[in-house]
A and B are shown apart, each in its own frame.
Chain A
Amino acid sequence: MSDLRDLYQEVILDHSKRPRNFGALPGATRKAEGYNPLCGDRETIYLQLAGDVLADVRFEGTGCAISTASASMMTESLKGKTREEADRLFALFHDLITGKGQGGGGPALGKLEVFSGVREYPIRVKCATLPWHTLKAALQSNGATVSTESEGPAAESGGA
């Protein structure tokens, strides 16, 4: 049985209380809104793309500790990355929190490893992935609200 502290690690609690890169990004070139109707979480991701590079990433909205910390740490880890690197990071992150990966994310994931405890709480996977799905939508920039309950790429099996 996992301890609650495996889920709510200090780093996660810190980011949920004092989210980094929080607030609108005036010079944003892309923007998308994410919504989880099950818990009412809403997050907007702002992107400033310079060619293929995510020059700046910010977010705002309301959410639980997991989704807020996930968004906060996502923005930190994505700044300066290319789109391709962002996609790869999301894939690794997704494997980490669903327990599908072989733990090979290692150095690439960096601080995001603190979310490994989420795999013991399948119902919370959607909280952690909401900002990432929203980021993906911002990159594809179809302007629509991304819902955790919609069909297609944003859909996530809640599990359990």
Chain B
Amino acid sequence: MSTALPVTAVPAYDVEAVRRDFPILSRTVYEKPLVYLDNAASAQKPRSVIDAEREVYETGYANIHRGVHWLSVHATDAYDAAREKARGLLNAAEAREIVFVRGTTEAINLVAQSYGRRHVGPGDEILITALEHHSNIVPWQLLAEEKSARLRVAPITDTGEIDLDAMERLLSPRTRIVSIAHLSNALGTILPLERIVEMAHARGVPVLVDGAQAAPRLPLDVRRLGCDFYAFSSHKLYGPTGVGVLYGRSELLEAMPPYQGGGDMIRSVTFEKTTFNALPYKFEAGTPNIAGGIAFGAAIDYVTGLGLERIEAHEADLLRYATEALLEVPGLRIIGRAREKAGVLSFVLEGVHPHDIGTVLDREGIAIRTGHHCAQPVMDRYGLPATARASFGLYNTREEVDALVRAIHKVIGMFR
């Protein structure tokens, strides 16, 4: 059970100190201490992020890439610094490979509409998996419909793992792109990305990775993973909403047509001809979420300051502890028993609807998600209308898991 952390240099993970960085965690809900276990939906924000966003508006705000004046230059520098931080988080080769978007959903739509519309034609295939979030299904369905292409779906096993043999068989000469989650939001499965990338690249097929759940939880290195695109959101990584990243290998991004037209994405415009701006600005039409982007940089500083290896180890401990505790609860079944899991614990309780679990837990101050988690095909795969889902963040504690288990026993007491 012991994780092999080196004894030297690395200070112990002080979760109580971490919790003090998050103002919202000191509040109560229904006069009970808040136990926030809905981090897979969105994470809470540390004071440094809140301060960063406020400071932009109080001392450093102007439009970026526009003015010669001091404030504009200052805001531009701060925004570009956030881009560099995102590059560092992913270990991308260059900052111009980091496109700022509104979030993971927009990043995937960007690739579908730009890369996809250019490379996918009638009879071609797009390969996803059976555990994808709706945001990694619907953009491809729209593209497939427009292009008379086919959406193929790699199946998952009963434990929630990708059936790699079946996936390999689905990679055909018509496959134009593979788009997969890094970490399933409904099941907690960590996908074997390197293996999938290897399989796809062996056939010359690029791979997009939906990293919405993985980016806040796992150390990343897009060059080691070898993926072609990586998408994630600021708001799940303890940053503001409305900001996200599309990483793309520069050769691919260079060759792709713009996604949206407007200001900032152009080099020159006449009514006859427009030439587009360099990367990443070609994909960043219009004034972006400037303050949000800068505060996102503060969020990246926060998680890298703690260290993603340590965050991963902390959450792995919580997941292990919670899994063992929940398996003791009579009539409780965990949905998603992959060998490699992180962050997410989906479960159902015999004889009790997830919605009722959610309401009772809420009155105990415990926030979890109930429903289909924007992954209806996953629910269908298991023949369930919904599950209850606890998802962990870097500030959660074993005591909060204990509170969750106590509250589940209260649910059982009420409904059985």
Contact between B385 and A4, CB atoms less than 8 A apart: no
Contact between B356 and A65, CB atoms less than 8 A apart: yes
Contact between B363 and A4, CB atoms less than 8 A apart: yes
Q: Does B304 interact with chain A (Cβ within 8 Å)?
A: no
Contact between B363 and A39, CB atoms less than 8 A apart: no
Q: Which of A7, A42, A62 contacts B359 (CB 8 A)?
A: A7
Report the bound CA distance from A41 to B384 in whole Å: 10
Report the bound CA distance from A1 to B351 in whole Å: 27
Q: Which of B356, B363, B384 contacts A66 (CB 8 A)?
A: B356
Contact A64 B414, CB 8 Å, known A1-B31, A39-B385: no
Contact between B372 and A40, CB atoms less than 8 A apart: yes
Contact A39 B414, CB 8 Å, known A4-B360, A7-B359, A124-B359: no
Q: Does A22 interact with chain B (Cβ within 8 Å)?
A: no
| Least CB separation from A61: chain B residue | B385
Contact between A63 and B353, CB atoms less than 8 A apart: yes
- Residues of chain A contacted by B359 (CB below 8 angstroms): 4, 7, 121, 124
- Residues of chain A contacted by B30 (CB below 8 angstroms): 1
- Residues of chain B contacted by A4 (CB below 8 angstroms): 359-360, 363, 414
| Least CB separation from B363: chain A residue | A4
A1-42, CB < 8 A from B = 1, 4, 7-8, 13, 16-17, 37-42
| A interface, size bucket | 20 to 34
Contact A13 B415, CB 8 Å, known A39-B370, A65-B353: yes
A47-74 vs B: 1/0 string, CB under 8 Å? 0000000000000001111101000000
Report the bound CA distance from A63 to B356 in whole Å: 10
Contact between B31 and A39, CB atoms less than 8 A apart: no
Q: Does B386 interact with chain A (Cβ within 8 Å)?
A: yes
Q: Does B355 interact with chain A (Cβ within 8 Å)?
A: yes
- Residues of chain A contacted by B414 (CB below 8 angstroms): 4, 8, 13
Query: How far is the CB of B377 from the nearest CB of chain A, in Å?
Result: 13
Q: Does A125 interact with chain B (Cβ within 8 Å)?
A: no
Query: How far is the CB of B221 from the nearest CB of chain A, in Å?
Result: 38
Question: Can you identify 19 A-B contacts, CB atoms within 8 angstroms?
Answer: A1-B30, A4-B359, A7-B359, A8-B356, A8-B414, A13-B415, A37-B372, A39-B353, A39-B370, A39-B386, A40-B371, A40-B372, A64-B354, A65-B352, A65-B353, A65-B356, A66-B356, A68-B353, A124-B355
